[in-house]
Amino acid sequence: MNKIFEVPLYAYERSPDQDAPTPVRHPVIVIGAGPIGLAAAIDLAQNDTPVVVLDDNDKVSFGSRAICFAKRPLEILDRLGCGHEMVEKGVEWDLGKVFFDDRQVYEFDLLPEEGHEFPAFINLQQYYFEEYLVNRVRALQAQGKPIEIRGKNKVEAIGTHDDHVTLEVQTPEDSYVIEADWLIACDGANSPTRRMLGLDFVGRVFEDNFLIADVIMEADFPTERWFWFDPPFNRGQSALLHKQPDGVWRIDLQLGWDIDKEEEKKPENVIPRLKAMLGEDVEFELEWVSIYTFQCRRMEEFRHGRVIFAGDAAHQVSPFGARGANSGLQDTDNLIWKLQLVMDDKAPESLLDSYDIERIHGADENILNSTRSTDFITPKSEISRTLRDAVLDLAEEYQFARPLVNSGRLSVPCTYDGSPLNTADALEQGPARTRPGSPCPDVPLGDGFLLPKLAGKFTLLTIDAEAPDSFEESGIEVTRLALSVKDDKTLALKQRYLGAAPSAVYLIRPDQHVAARRESWNENIFRAALRRATGQEQQK
């Protein structure tokens, strides 16, 4: 058994809060030290907002769980100070193969676009992911940043008030009460916070079971994503093989609905299934086995007064498409800068409503894609299976059918079209991919890349356009980043930000999404755009 599962990463320690005569009030408390909770806390602490993370456990999550991390979340992690460690440890892959019965019908290449600092995808076990985030927390603590993780601190009750939240917390020693101005609940799909507050979580249940196994083996399989529909070793069902670091392979086998989960999880039943898939002669060791069912659902609203939900606690999707952890990281990326402006009295509390609007838009997009993948992978009627098999049969022969093959539509960043924070696009002939609401695509600059220069603050990006070096509006500082296509050797800047326009000025949010753009600087227009992007002004 891997040691990482056994060593407490944030062991219980007594907090002075437990002996305080009256409950101590914290600016922000995060429930859950998983990937999303830790990302939220790091984001806050990097900008000196004190944060306490409570977790009922004290170790990394057991088993590989979320393993596929996409470019956009890696860019977010880079802003949080740990993107590069993830990429160095992770396995990069571009090629996916799709098999039907006993033959390959199709293969796809993610064809990552040149000129990005981060790869399209890496595979990395969730336990490493969490470990690197905890390392980052420790590094921030060493710098004196106000961040704390309390292991074995289980929230038993939550009281909500107009301007704060009260938490009753159980520890191995005793229970205590603390308060928070704001509570961020990142406590997963079965969120106890959601349950304690009696909030809804509705959607669609898929009547299917998947066996998920991590095996350690020295195998010749290439670093590719292999997906099988109806293979000889798992008749009528699907299968997935994906490589992780350290010679660990992720295997997913669809089992159907009517099974005995406890029986199926036993090694004497799992091992023959894996041998049938991998070959009798392949030696492997079983590291982790789990059986899961899944649902596609979300909360009706992610914000409930002073309690804000993020990640799986707010929305749940099927695993096809890697849209769980990847979308959760986009939640906190969207939330934290808004929350900090509200806490600093630089923006009205209503700015947080845009978190709901933008991330519900993201969740709905993910649920739609993930539901469609699931319908294709696990057809629930005879005709649905007939059509699915027809697509696969045709895909082998004819190119036209290949885009219909759906073994998971992989996570792509969300564009917040129609967001109330956007100012209408005013860059004529500008590229569609950088319209207001879009996440900024990376661009190689002479000494590095564009995105790190846009991190964590409002930026005025000018390309061959004049503008002041900085301006302040409602106490929010905007600094200029001046670029020129003269220095743009790869033409990526021109292609991604100018299109046919001769020049451009972009207002970019702290989460690297475009708020406004036009051909040239105009003080009144950009001041209004900033007010709008911070919830202070509605579009006329």
Residues near another protein, by CB under 8 A: 383, 386-387, 389-391, 393-394, 398, 400-401, 404
CB closer to another protein, 396 vs 537: 396
Q: How far apart are CA 56 and CA 155, in angstroms?
A: 7
Token pair for residue 109?
């290449």
Which residues are bridge partners to 211 per DSSP?
Answer: 253, 291
Token pair for residue 320?
């096809």
CB closer to another protein, 365 vs 393: 393
The least CB distance from residue 403 to another protein, in Å, is 10
Helical residues (DSSP H) of 203-293, grouped into ranges: 261-265, 267-278
The least CB distance from residue 387 to another protein, in Å, is 5
CB under 8 Å to 231, separation ≥6 — which residues?
99, 101, 102, 238, 239, 277
Token pair for residue 402?
């290949």
Residue whose entry in the numeric block shows the structure tokens 């697509």:
391
The least CB distance from residue 35 to another protein, in Å, is 38
CB closer to another protein, 84 vs 372: 372
CB closer to another protein, 217 vs 394: 394
The least CB distance from residue 393 to another protein, in Å, is 6
The least CB distance from residue 141 to another protein, in Å, is 55
Which residues are bridge partners to 216 per DSSP?
Answer: 248, 285
Helix (H) or strand (E) holding 45: helix 35-46
CB closer to another protein, 357 vs 387: 387
The least CB distance from residue 106 to another protein, in Å, is 14
CB closer to another protein, 111 vs 400: 400
The least CB distance from residue 383 to another protein, in Å, is 8
Residue 445 sits at the vertex; the CA angle it makes with 443 and 447, to the nearest 5 degrees, is 140
The least CB distance from residue 254 to another protein, in Å, is 21
CB closer to another protein, 343 vs 404: 404
The least CB distance from residue 390 to another protein, in Å, is 4
The least CB distance from residue 394 to another protein, in Å, is 6
115 closest CA partner among 450, 412, 403: 450
Whether 248 contacts 125, CB under 8 Å: yes
E runs forming strands in 299-364:
303-304, 307-309, 315-316
For residue 162, which amino acid is it? D
CA distances (Å), 74 to each of 57, 85, 121, 123, 242, in order? 26, 10, 9, 11, 19
The least CB distance from residue 230 to another protein, in Å, is 13
Q: How far apart are CA 273 and CA 296, in angstroms?
A: 28
Whether 240 contacts 250, CB under 8 Å: yes
**Three-class SS state of 143:** coil
CB closer to another protein, 276 vs 387: 387
Whether 123 contacts 90, CB under 8 Å: yes
CB closer to another protein, 395 vs 528: 395
Phi and psi for 148 in degrees, rounded to 5? -145, 135
For residue 172, which amino acid is it? P
Q: How far apart are CA 268 and CA 273, in angstroms?
A: 9
CB closer to another protein, 22 vs 398: 398
CB closer to another protein, 175 vs 386: 386
Whether 288 contacts 274, CB under 8 Å: no
